[in-house]
Structures are given as C-alpha cells and as structure tokens.
C-alpha cells in the first residue's frame, strides 16, 4: 500500500469517527491488527478504495426508493454470512431512530 493510500485511509477513519462522535483506534503500524473505530455498541472497519463493487448494488436498490424507507443491500458470499450494506447517512439515521 502506498503512502498516499495509507494517508487517505487514515483520513477516512477520522471522518467515520467524527460522524459517530468518537475517536478512532490509533495503531502503531498498519501491520497491527485492530478495528478502525469502536463505539459503545459498534466495531467498525472503515474501508476507502478507488472502486467498490457494492456501489452498483446500492444504486440498483435506490432506483426503487420509497419515501420514509431505507435502502439496504443484503449480500452473502458463497459459504459466508449475510451482510447488510447501506449509505452512511441512512445508517446514522437508523442509529438515531433506534436510540429513541
């Protein structure tokens, strides 16, 4: 991973932590294994890449968006467990609603 890629990743981790009003987990090196951001009830791995395959999936479900409902992609890799994918803005709104 190039230095600029590492710095871009760190910036994204800081942004995710700022959105959730917490501090990111500081590591001594990127070879060290640790989550990027931890809250009271979430462990987050923040990924910042040039392209994400899930973007087209989100666009597909968003083409059918209904007012008042959140768009979520449920995906599962062969042999793996299901994962939920949504926009960060929707995720933050879902968290806020759950906290009520």
What confidence score (pLDDT) does residue 91 get? Answer: 93
71: pLDDT confidence band, cut at 50, 70 and 90? very high
Q: Across residues 34-48, what is the average pLDDT?
A: 88
User: Mean pLDDT across the chain, nearest whole number?
Assistant: 88
The answer to whether 24 and 33 are in contact (CB under 8 A) is: no
Give the residue-averaged pLDDT of 29-51: 83
8 Å CB contact between 35 and 43: yes
Q: Where are the domains of the chain?
A: 1-48, 51-100
* pLDDT score for 53: 80
Compute the average pLDDT of residues 13-32. Answer: 86
Helix, strand, coil in percent for the chain, rounding step 5:
35, 15, 50
Q: Are the CB atoms for 25 and 35 separated by under 8 Å? A: yes
Distance CA 49, CA 27 (A): 20
The whole-number pLDDT of residue 22 equals 93
């Amino acid at each position: 991973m190039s230095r600029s890629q590492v710095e871009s990743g760190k910036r994204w981790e800081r942004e995710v932590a700022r959105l959730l009003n917490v501090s990111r987990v500081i590591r001594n090196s990127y070879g060290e294994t640790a989550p990027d951001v931890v809250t009271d009830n979430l462990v987050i791995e923040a990924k910042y890449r040039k392209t994400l395959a899930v973007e087209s999936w989100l666009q597909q479900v968003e083409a059918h968006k209904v007012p008042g409902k959140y768009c979520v992609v449920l995906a599962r890799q062969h042999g793996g467990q299901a994962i939920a994918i949504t926009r960060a803005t929707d995720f933050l709104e879902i968290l806020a609603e759950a906290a009520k």
